[in-house]
């Protein structure tokens, strides 16, 4: 069994790592990581806008985003991927690569999800910070920019990393629209071998595990550091500030 | 400290007229009519839940009111106005919170200098120097680089006072500034407040520190169930309170 | 493509039958894996709190694997991998008895157990240590204190994440399409292939998922409300 797995790795490591590249399109683990990193990098700024919209007093801003958040919370990602696969080419009129379709879906999905984390982070600061800012004459946006968001986003760093982990796991769903990622590469290997599916998918599981586990450890270390740095600020409240990230942690 | 109650001075710093506020059916403030003269120190006292914190918070519009008006420097704070004007008004009314509400992500000197820079557009180095002077004034010059988390409660509250003073407000409001402090730290905060009063700052303080009220206040407002039941000079109030509820309040305090 | 017309699907008895069957199978997978997950989660928690020395690390490893490997990959490993390693008799029996659905239930249930057991554990841990001390001081034994003081509070604390994760499980039941289980997404895809009314059938499928997810959230919110002594006393 172990020898089988080592053989598979020595024969197919390049395919698993970069797909058909440089002869064909980039795929494999490299594409999984690029897709996840791009998704989270673009979802992050969008999540802040979404969160501000949800906290806004204008219904016109609040309602559409609230609706979007509920849709992403209540509808399977797989269904949303199918929607994008159907709608993105229809709306853009272009033949869009499945990579872009998946990227679009993940940005909206994780953007909506992260916006809840931002909102939770702002709520966890309590009303005192906003009141103090107002009493000093700051405008709403000024208070957000200089006082509320710097704190909320700093506390959010572990959540962002765990959302990154979720995103890596979510990219596997691109399998249904043939996004050339690690899972896709593994199933290609499986189709060529035909006789060792268990070994192939076990390798796949181990690779995902190694990446996600390492990132989770990083998130934990940072979370402890932040908790320690904040300890004593408001005693007790410091742990409360970080609590929502755990409650909200999504599982794909 | 002058004991002459300057109630009839030409233009009061703050004038509250018929201020009413309720949460649903529950009235919190009933027809509050009062004024604070320039340079006057008013201590608001009363049992818990009497509406004294709500009252002081309406003065810089952290709470809205249902009817009446609160005029500060000739401007009605609760009138409809563009947000910018309200922010400007607020920046000229210093407010000190019971729970300090320092900004934990900023150092002490940044806490004090940030709002002058961002709100008033003061040059950073000017604001910084000013902040250091104010910190020196509240006895915390050596803590300028520290973060709020590294300070005791009393020190944090003194920073909060310096932060409010940095906006150069003609009026300071204090909402139970010593209630969240350990007993041994109350004195250092009251000392700063006393020195402010001595310099002629117009002050409104909600506090349970009756010693401070007796020594520093020009006038006491006794408030219960949303009404100012008694507004008196401290010596009158403490020696011979007129209202039965004020009498009971003082009697309870002595136990 | 012709104009938007929901009735083209809603009036087609074949499509309706397929949809209903899809909903039924989605619920079978959801309910089956939920029960499996909860039973396993409680077992895992008992092992973790048991005096058995290797209990803690074994449960931790179980949780770590299931949380760090994508659910889809876990399903693939079960269906494409482990299924092929089973003895022939068992494979034949499973193939005759809807193996896709059975493996969807096993895969999702085992994965979800990791999340449920962590939810329960952090719920219990968030009960303050003073509660156990107070119960002991009043003369409760360990089990009695657990039963009457710690568990009621711990489970209440664990409710919100348990509800969130139940919704996730419901959504994740759609992953079973990858291994060919005939659930709701599968039915939606089939109706799409038959009718070419992609927009309409996606809309119906999405609405169905959203409706049931909101139903689970609503039921969860109601449960939390009932479990909160302060609120139920006021109500």
Mean pLDDT throughout B16-23? 95
Which residues of A touch chain C, with CB atoms under 8 Å apart? 70-71, 73-79, 82-83, 86, 165, 168-170, 172-173, 175-176, 183, 187, 190, 197-202, 204-205, 208-209, 212-213, 216, 246-248, 250-252
- Identify the weakest region by mean pLDDT among A62-66, C22-26, C137-141: C137-141
Mean pLDDT of chain C, nearest integer: 92
The CA R_g of chain B, rounded to the nearest whole Å, is: 18
DSSP conformation class of B149: G
CA distance B203 to B169: 11
CA distance B166 to B20: 32
Give the neighbor-by-neighbor strand order of the sheet with B14-23: B26-36, B14-23, B67-72, B75-76
CA distance B157 to B151: 10
Mean pLDDT throughout A122-144? 95
C168 close contact with A: CB closer than 8 A: yes
Query: Is residue B1 predicted with pLDDT exceeding 50?
Result: no
Closest-CA distance, A147 to chain C, in angstroms, reads 30
Q: How far is CA A54 from CA A59, A69, B72, in A?
A: 9, 10, 34
Alpha carbon of residue C54 to chain centroid:
27
User: Which one of C72, C85, C160, C218 makes the best mutation probe of the A interface by having the most chain A beta carbons within 10 Å?
Assistant: C72
pLDDT tens-digit series, residues C137-173: 888 888 888 888 888 899 999 999 999 999 999 999 9
Q: How far is CA C30 from CA C44, C73, C108, in A?
A: 20, 18, 9
DSSP characters over A131-156:
HHHHHTT--HHHHIIIIIHHHHHHHH
B103 close contact with A: CB closer than 8 A: yes
Kindly determine whether residue C175 and residue A78, on different chains, have CB atoms separated by under 8 Å.
yes
Residue A241 is predicted with a pLDDT of 39
Q: Do chains C and B touch (3 or more CB pairs under 8 A)?
A: no
Nearest by CB to residue A175, choosing from C72, C82, C202, is: C72
Kindly determine whether residue A132 and residue B88, on different chains, have CB atoms separated by under 8 Å.
no
Residue A115 is predicted with a pLDDT of 96
Strand-pairing partners, residue B76, are B71
Nearest by CB to residue B118, choosing from A132, A142, A231, is: A142
pLDDT band at C235 (very low <50, low <70, confident <90, very high): very low
Mean pLDDT of chain A, nearest integer: 89
A251: closest chain C residue by CA = C168
Residues 223-242 of B with CB under 8 A from A: none
Closest-CA distance, B148 to chain A, in angstroms, reads 6
In three-state secondary structure terms, B8 is: coil
Kindly determine whether residue A151 and residue B92, on different chains, have CB atoms separated by under 8 Å.
no
Residues near C140 by beta carbon (within 8 Å), at least 6 away in sequence: C148, C149
pLDDT band at B254 (very low <50, low <70, confident <90, very high): confident
Query: Is residue A250 predicted with pLDDT exceeding 80?
Result: no
Residue B10 is predicted with a pLDDT of 55
Query: Is residue C230 predicted with pLDDT exceeding 70?
Result: no
The CA R_g of chain A, rounded to the nearest whole Å, is: 21
CA distance B26 to C59: 54
CA distance C120 to B124: 51
- Identify the weakest region by mean pLDDT among A18-22, A95-99, A243-247, B161-165: A243-247
Query: Is residue A81 predicted with pLDDT exceeding 60?
Result: yes
Closest-CA distance, C82 to chain A, in angstroms, reads 6
pLDDT tens-digit series, residues C100-137: 999 999 999 999 999 999 999 999 998 888 888 888 88
On chain A, the residues whose CB falls within 8 A of the CB of C177 are 78, 176
Q: How far is CA B106 from CA A129, A236, C7, in A?
A: 12, 19, 61
Mean pLDDT throughout C55-74? 96
Query: Is residue A86 predicted with pLDDT exceeding 60?
Result: yes
Task: Name which residue leads in pLDDT, B57 or A94.
Answer: B57
| Spatial contact of B67 and B55, defined as CB atoms under 8 Å apart | no
Nearest by CB to residue A79, choosing from C161, C198, C209, is: C209
Kindly determine whether residue C209 and residue A70, on different chains, have CB atoms separated by under 8 Å.
no
A201: closest chain C residue by CA = C77
Kindly determine whether residue A232 and residue B97, on different chains, have CB atoms separated by under 8 Å.
no
pLDDT tens-digit series, residues B68-117: 999 998 899 999 999 899 999 999 999 999 999 999 999 999 999 999 99
Mean pLDDT throughout B4-13? 57
Residues near B204 by beta carbon (within 8 Å), at least 6 away in sequence: B14, B36, B42, B44, B56, B59, B171, B172, B173, B174
Residue B195 is predicted with a pLDDT of 96
| Spatial contact of A41 and A165, defined as CB atoms under 8 Å apart | no
Closest-CA distance, A96 to chain C, in angstroms, reads 18
Mean pLDDT throughout B215-242? 94
User: Which one of A8, A35, A76 makes the best mutation probe of the C interface by having the most chain C beta carbons within 10 Å?
Assistant: A76
CA distance A108 to A114: 10
Residue A22 is predicted with a pLDDT of 86
Query: Is residue A35 predicted with pLDDT exceeding 80?
Result: yes
Mean pLDDT of chain B, nearest integer: 92
User: Which one of C1, C33, C63, C69 makes the best mutation probe of the A interface by having the most chain A beta carbons within 10 Å?
Assistant: C69
Q: How far is CA B161 from CA B108, B149, B164, in A?
A: 12, 17, 5
A198: closest chain C residue by CA = C81
pLDDT band at B59 (very low <50, low <70, confident <90, very high): very high
H/E element, B231: strand B227-232
pLDDT tens-digit series, residues C179-192: 999 999 999 999 99
pLDDT tens-digit series, residues A147-204: 999 999 998 899 999 999 999 999 999 999 999 999 999 999 999 998 999 999 999 9
Nearest by CB to residue A136, choosing from B104, B115, B149, is: B115
pLDDT tens-digit series, residues A192-205: 998 999 999 999 99
Kindly determine whether residue A137 and residue B105, on different chains, have CB atoms separated by under 8 Å.
no
pLDDT tens-digit series, residues B167-219: 999 999 999 999 999 999 999 999 999 999 999 999 999 999 999 999 999 99
Residue C148 is predicted with a pLDDT of 87
pLDDT band at A237 (very low <50, low <70, confident <90, very high): very low
Query: Is residue A108 predicted with pLDDT exceeding 70?
Result: yes
In three-state secondary structure terms, B255 is: coil
Nearest by CB to residue A233, choosing from B83, B119, B148, is: B148
CA distance B201 to A232: 33
Query: Is residue A231 predicted with pLDDT exceeding 60?
Result: yes
């Amino acid at each position: 069994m172990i020898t089988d797995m080592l053989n598979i790795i020595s024969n197919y490591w390049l395919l698993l790592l970069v797909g058909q590249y440089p002869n064909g399109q980039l795929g494999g683990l490299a594409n999984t990581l690029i897709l996840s990193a791009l998704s989270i990098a673009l979802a992050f700024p969008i999540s802040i806008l979404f969160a501000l919209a949800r906290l806004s007093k204008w219904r016109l801003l609040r309602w559409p985003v609230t609706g979007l958040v509920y849709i992403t919370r209540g509808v399977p990602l797989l269904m949303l991927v199918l929607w994008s696969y159907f709608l993105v080419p229809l709306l853009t009129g272009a033949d869009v690569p499945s990579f872009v379709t998946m990227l679009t879906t993940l940005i909206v999905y994780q953007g909506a999800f992260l916006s809840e984390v931002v909102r939770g982070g702002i709520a966890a600061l309590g009303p005192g910070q906003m009141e103090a800012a107002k009493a000093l004459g700051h405008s709403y946006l000024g208070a957000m920019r200089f006082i509320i968001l710097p704190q909320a986003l700093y506390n959010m760093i572990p959540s962002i990393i765990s959302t990154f982990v979720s995103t890596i796991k979510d990219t596997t769903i691109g399998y249904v629209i043939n996004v050339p990622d690690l899972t896709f590469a593994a199933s290609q290997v499986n189709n060529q071998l035909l006789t060792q599916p268990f070994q192939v998918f076990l390798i796949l599981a181990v690779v995902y595990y190694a990446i996600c586990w390492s990132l989770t450890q990083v998130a934990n270390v940072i979370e402890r550091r932040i908790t320690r740095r904040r300890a004593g600020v408001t005693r007790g409240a410091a742990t409360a500030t970080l609590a929502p990230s755990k409650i909200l942690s999504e599982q794909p | 400290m002058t004991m002459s109650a300057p109630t009839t001075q030409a233009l009061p710093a703050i004038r509250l007229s018929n201020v009413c506020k309720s949460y649903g059916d529950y009235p919190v403030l009933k027809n509050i009519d009062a004024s604070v003269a320039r340079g006057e120190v008013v201590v608001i006292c009363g049992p818990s839940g009497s509406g004294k914190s709500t009252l002081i918070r309406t003065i810089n519009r952290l709470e809205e009111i249902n009817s009446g008006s609160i005029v500060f420097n000739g401007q009605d704070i609760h009138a409809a106005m563009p947000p910018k004007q309200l922010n400007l008004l607020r920046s000229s009314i210093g407010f000190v919170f019971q729970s300090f509400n320092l900004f934990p992500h900023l150092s002490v000197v940044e806490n004090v200098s940030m709002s002058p820079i961002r709100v008033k557009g003061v040059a950073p180095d000017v604001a910084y120097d000013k902040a250091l002077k104010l910190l020196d004034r509240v006895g915390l010059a050596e803590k300028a680089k520290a973060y709020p988390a590294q300070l005791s409660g009393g020190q944090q509250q003194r920073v909060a006072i310096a932060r409010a003073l940095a906006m150069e407000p003609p009026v300071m409001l204090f909402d139970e500034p010593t209630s969240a402090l350990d007993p041994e730290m109350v004195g250092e905060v009251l000392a700063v407040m006393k020195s402010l009063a001595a310099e002629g700052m117009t002050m409104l303080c909600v506090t349970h520190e009756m010693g401070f009220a007796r020594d520093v206040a020009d006038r006491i407002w006794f408030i219960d169930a949303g009404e100012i039941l008694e507004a008196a000079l401290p010596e009158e109030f403490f020696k011979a309170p007129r209202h039965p509820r004020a009498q009971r309040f003082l009697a309870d305090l002595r136990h | 493509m012709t104009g938007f017309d929901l009735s083209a699907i809603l009036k087609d008895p074949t499509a309706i039958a397929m949809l209903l069957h899809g909903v039924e199978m989605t619920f079978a997978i959801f309910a089956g894996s939920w029960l499996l997950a909860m039973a396993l989660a409680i077992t895992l928690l008992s092992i973790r709190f048991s005096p058995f020395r290797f209990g803690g690390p074994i449960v931790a490893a179980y949780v770590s694997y299931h949380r760090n490997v994508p659910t889809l990959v876990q399903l693939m490993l079960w269906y494409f991998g482990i299924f092929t390693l089973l003895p022939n008799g068992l494979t034949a029996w499973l193939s005759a008895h809807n193996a896709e659905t059975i493996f969807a239930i096993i895969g999702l249930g085992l994965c979800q157990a990791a999340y449920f057991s962590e939810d329960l554990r952090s719920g219990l841990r968030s009960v303050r240590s003073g509660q156990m001390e107070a119960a002991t001081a009043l003369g409760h034994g360990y089990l009695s204190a657990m039963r009457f003081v710690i568990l009621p509070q711990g489970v209440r604390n664990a409710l919100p994440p348990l509800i969130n994760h139940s919704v996730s499980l419901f959504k994740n039941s759609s992953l079973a399409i990858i291994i060919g289980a005939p659930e709701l997404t599968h039915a939606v895809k089939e109706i799409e292939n038959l009718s070419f009314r992609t927009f309409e059938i996606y809309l119906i499928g999405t609405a169905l998922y959203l409706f049931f997810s909101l139903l689970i959230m609503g039921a969860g919110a109601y449960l939390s409300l009932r479990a909160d002594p302060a609120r139920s006393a006021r109500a």
